[in-house]
């Protein structure tokens, strides 16, 4: 176990999605409107059928035909930027039967296709929208009465700056999300879904070149290498290269550029597409083989074989004057793995950046 890793004494707490909190707030406001009394607790159904009760932070009638309720989001032990958000529902009577759902302050507006949501509409995903309608319908007979429900999140616009919403074309706030209603701590599933969604949005813009970056630093080098491409083409793929490539193939994209540092590139060159540190290790033996292939001495190759990390191998290459040649060979192998994964359907480029992310030190194929 790495010495920096802490032993956790108890299980991580799950939390609730913004969609679940919005449905609870909407039900509380609808109940207040129906009964004339503030609701202190609202019970709602998750997509699984499980029912969960939420205490309201605030619930009040704000007019003869309007009520408002707030539920504070608890994301459990997940590092969610919306943890603590005051998810607010304002429910107003209207003349026509049924439920009209809209977004208010702090809920983003959809400005690009590819998200499965109406352009110009609120960024309230289909499952949360259904949960809200069901919750409100439990409080009021919406087949005979009409309600307008507006979901808002004070500080939502500020929270959204820490998300990929702007890049996806969601402007002015956060998204109301959730497929199960539950937030799983440190969910890899949610990151994978965000990667797949980013590829979908890019494809919907008519772009055919997908640039996969392993993180924020590598994206700097990628944008310097491809300044002609719009921002939507750059996707922070994390450890989900395989998922991104499968989605790219689904949309018939033609070209993929992978930009990373030595460690991630080594894992990909070894044929490992799930590159999380808990799932795979850097093969310094492969880097030693590359050292020999590009003409490095046996002493240097043996030192690379025994290197502690990909970065250590990179530093040896740099010291021995082999960085450009060895980096290009590493990138060639990465491109080969990704090409085989796509069965030749994708034109693949791979590039290695230094550890600042600002400089591309090697690539395959070389660009003129």
Tens of pLDDT, residue by residue over 211-251, are 999 877 788 889 989 999 999 999 988 778 999 999 999 99
Torsion of CA 213, 217, 218, 223, to 10 degrees: 90
Q: What is the pLDDT of residues 43-88, one digit of tens each?
A: 999 998 999 999 999 999 999 999 999 999 998 877 788 999 999 9
Average pLDDT over residues 2-13: 44
Least confident of 7-11, 128-132, 145-149: 7-11
Structure confidence at residue 256 as a pLDDT band (50, 70, 90): very high
The CA distance from 289 to 281, in Å, is: 16
Average pLDDT over residues 107-112: 93
Average pLDDT over residues 148-167: 93
The CA distance from 93 to 34, in Å, is: 10
pLDDT the model gives residue 185: 63
Q: What is the DSSP letter of 280?
A: -
Structure confidence at residue 102 as a pLDDT band (50, 70, 90): very high
Contact 101/129 with Cβ under 8 angstroms?
A: yes
CB contact set of 20 (below 8 Å; sequence gap of 6+)? 44, 46, 52, 128, 131, 178, 181, 182
CATH homologous superfamily for the domain 15-182? CbiD-like (3.30.2110.10)
pLDDT the model gives residue 273: 66
Q: For the whole model, what pTM was predicted? A: 0.66
Residue 253 has pLDDT above 60, yes or no: yes
Q: What is the DSSP letter of 91?
A: E
Residue 360 has pLDDT above 50, yes or no: yes
Greater confidence (309 vs 277) lies with: 309
Q: Which residues pair with 101 in a beta bridge?
A: 149
Residue 265 has pLDDT above 90, yes or no: yes
Query: Domain ranges in the chain?
Result: 15-182, 188-364
The CA distance from 265 to 135, in Å, is: 48
């Amino acid at each position: 176990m790495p010495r920096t890793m802490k032993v956790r004494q108890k299980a991580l707490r799950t939390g609730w999605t913004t969609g679940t909190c919005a449905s609870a707030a909407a039900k509380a406001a609808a109940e207040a409107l129906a009964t004339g009394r503030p609701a202190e607790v609202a019970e709602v159904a998750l997509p699984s059928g499980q029912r969960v009760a939420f205490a309201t932070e605030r619930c009040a009638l704000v007019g003869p035909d309007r009520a408002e309720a707030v539920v504070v989001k608890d994301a459990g032990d997940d590092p969610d930027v919306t943890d603590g958000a005051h998810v607010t529902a304002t429910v107003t009577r209207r003349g026509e039967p049924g439920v009209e759902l809209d977004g208010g302050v702090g809920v983003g507006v959809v400005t690009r296709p590819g998200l499965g949501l109406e352009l110009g509409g609120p960024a309230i995903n289909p499952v949360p929208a259904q949960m809200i309608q069901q919750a409100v319908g439990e409080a009021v007979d919406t087949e005979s009465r009409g309600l307008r429900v507006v979901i808002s999140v004070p500080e939502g616009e500020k929270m959204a700056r820490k998300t990929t919403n702007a890049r996806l074309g969601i402007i002015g706030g956060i998204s109301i999300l959730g497929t199960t209603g539950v937030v799983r701590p440190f969910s890899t599933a949610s990151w994978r879904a965000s990667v797949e969604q980013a590829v979908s949005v890019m494809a919907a813009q008519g772009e055919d070149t997908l640039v996969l970056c392993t993180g924020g630093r590598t994206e700097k080098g990628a944008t310097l290498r491809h300044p002609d491409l719009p921002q939507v083409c750059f996707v922070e793929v994390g450890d989900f290269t395989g998922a991104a490539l499968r989605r790219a193939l689904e949309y018939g994209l033609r070209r993929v550029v992978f930009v990373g540092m030595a460690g991630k590139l080594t894992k990909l060159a070894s044929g490992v597409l799930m590159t999380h540190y808990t799932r795979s290790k850097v093969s310094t033996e492969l880097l030693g083989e590359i050292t020999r292939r590009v003409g490095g001495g046996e002493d240097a190759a043996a030192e690379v074989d025994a290197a502690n990390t990909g970065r250590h191998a990179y530093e040896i290459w740099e010291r021995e004057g082999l960085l450009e040649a060895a980096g290009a060979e590493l990138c060639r192998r990465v491109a080969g793995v990704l090409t085989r994964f796509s069965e030749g359907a994708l034109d693949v480029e791979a590039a290695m950046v230094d550890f600042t992310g600002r400089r591309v030190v090697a690539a395959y194929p070389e660009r003129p």
